[in-house]
Amino acid sequence: MTAKKILLVEDDEFTRFMMKEIIHTLGVAVDVAENGQEGCDQLSRSPEDYSLVLMDIHMPKLSGVDATRKIRDHPNDPPRNVAIIAVTADEHYHDFTTVSRHGMDGFIAKPITAGELIGLVDRYCTAA
């Protein structure tokens, strides 16, 4: 399996920095997007690059839910079937059935635990 990157879609600068730093300790590369629209654009530009999308839910311009729908409706695969994990403090999305219904593969609750994030990255990515 070739080394692939993570696309982190998150509007909060502090959270982006923190998650990037944790993922870096695993030797996995991360690209960031600041809202759902940027995330979709980045994914369309380099669909082969990513094995996992970490998706915030509440974001300006395009929400994580809408961005996921857009990705799942994409004419090409990749990126259509890329793994998408919701990362959110919104308890409504702390439920597997709910996130599945929105086309996502799972969720991590905020405040995140480093262990949970690391476990997830291990499952979807191999270190470069």
Binding site for other proteins (CB under 8 A): 12, 14-15, 17-19, 21-22, 25, 58, 89-91, 110-114, 117
What is the C-alpha R_g of the chain?
A: 13
Nearer to other proteins, 43 or 52 (CB): 52
Question: What residues contact residue 111 under an 8 Å CB cut-off, 6+ apart?
Answer: 89
Nearer to other proteins, 18 or 83 (CB): 18
Give the integer Cα–Cα distance in Å for 98 and 93. Answer: 6
Nearer to other proteins, 29 or 118 (CB): 118
Structure tokens at 13: 């600068």
The least CB distance from residue 2 to other proteins, in Å, is: 27
Give the max Cα distance, the chain.
35
Q: Strand, coil or helix: what is 15?
A: helix
Nearer to other proteins, 25 or 100 (CB): 25
Give the integer Cα–Cα distance in Å for 10 and 53. Answer: 10
The least CB distance from residue 29 to other proteins, in Å, is: 17
Structure tokens at 93: 């999305």
